[in-house]
Amino acid sequence: MTTSTKTRETFTSRFGTLMTIIGVAIGLGNVWRFPYMVGKFGGAAFVLFYILVSVVIGVPALMAEFALGRYSRRGPVGAFAAAGLPFGTAVGWFFFAVVTAATGYYTAVIGWVLYYAVGQLAAGLHIPLDPSAILPPDHGFVLKSFVLQLVCTGAVILTCALVVIKGLRAGIERASKVVLPMLLIVILVLMVRTLTLPGAMDGVRWYILKFRFADLTPAVMVAAIGHAIFSLSLGGTFMVVYGSYLDSKESLARPAIWTVIGDTGSALLAGLAVIPAVFALGLQPTSGPGLIFATLPKVFAAIPAGAFFGCLFFIGLFGAGYLSDVGAFEVLVAGLTDNTRYTRTRAVWIVSAAVFLLAIPPTINNAIFVPWDLTFGSGIQTLGSLVAVLTVGWCLNRSAALKELGRQGEQPIPMWLFYWIRFGIPAAIGGVGVWWLLSDVFGAVKAV
């Protein structure tokens, strides 16, 4: 076993552990992506299968990534090699580069959210401001959009840097303890307001009650699996790093289960805050990624005190994305501090500069942004999750894997769970990857 020669911080408390890990898992995937995925893939069938997948695949996959990080006490750059994966160091640096590229466009999207929050505040004060001006055009180049995106992206990067530079306990864990409970309060307030709108119950029925087996198509099932991987921040990076900070006496099942509960629960609540409102106003839930940035502002404009609730919504969405972005920064900073002589401070500013530069290409237009998202987000994130579970199931010494997964005198994990990590989860994730290639890359099958 290889460990870092540098002192490794661990979380200060179980509450801090859960707030940090759940915070990085929630992200924009729950409040932005989940509602429009539900709309795109037909409602209740997608929702119920997504819940099943989050438990059956999400919990053991999280345990595997936590185990990989805690065993090596390293981030992905170092963890794969320590576990015995061939070319593990090269694989780790590859995923490091992917996270850098993904963090660039993800931070830009959080910048959009920030500007939309300002736009809702301006609407409440009767100040003319079009928040959609920040969105990139479908093609070509619009200077105003480009400049607005760079300014807001830079502001988000700075706020992430100021937290990450303080380290795990004084920075990331402390911020998570504040932001995550506030996010939950915001979602609950919005959900209550949404459910009191006339006609909202039609949306609730479509969202979680109108289930038909005929709606559970292969495309819906693959989409649910892919979104669970995306939403839980699986990918051989985020959760490997946070696993490396777990106390050696901590049961890996506990944070994995609570992460799934917190992440899936927040997604379901976000759906209840968004979809019934869309139905109540007679709008379409199938509007795709624009559901949040195009459809919801119409909802807020049509209800009493809509600007207040709109501002509250986008502040909550910003908080969700911000904690996940902090997690991405920590993956990159840990990659540098674990494998170079850079101090944390220097590593943070190097990462900040790299993220800002890689945020520039996808902010030009959607013709660049969409394939950038599909490649560095959905596609390679699925590959990273596959590599992580294969590493734990096949490359890490079996006794070491069982010891790490069961840990410190507790009952060892049942062998069926180990074999599920070894065979079942790779098969499921591999199927999602094949479908992604056939549908999104080669266009050989229809995505819906």
Q: Is the pLDDT of residue 409 over 60?
A: no
Q: Residue 255 falls within a domain, yes or no?
A: yes
| Mean pLDDT score, 404-409 | 72
Digit-coded pLDDT (tens) for 363-374: 999 999 988 987
Number of domains in the chain: 1
**Does 52 fall in a domain?**
yes
- Asked whether residue 26 is domain-assigned, the answer is yes
Whether the predicted pLDDT of 4 surpasses 60: no
Instruction: Dump pLDDT digits (tens) for 201-247.
Output: 999 999 988 888 888 988 899 889 988 998 899 999 999 999 999 98
Answer whether residue 447 is part of any domain: no
Q: Label residue 291 by pLDDT band (50, 70, 90).
A: confident
- 219 part of a folded domain: yes
In the predicted model, what is the mean pLDDT of residues 261-288? 87
Whether residue 6 lies inside any domain: the answer is no
Q: pLDDT digits over 314-331, tens only?
A: 999 999 999 999 999 999
CATH number of domain containing 348: 1.10.4160
Question: By residue range, what is the domain housing residue 98?
Answer: 14-441
pLDDT digits (tens, 9 = 90+) for 36-83: 888 888 789 999 999 999 999 999 999 999 999 999 999 999 999 999
The encoded tokens of residue 249 equal 């006496």
Average pLDDT, integer, range 277-292: 78
Q: Is residue 2 part of a domain?
A: no
> In this structure, is residue 47 part of a structural domain?
yes
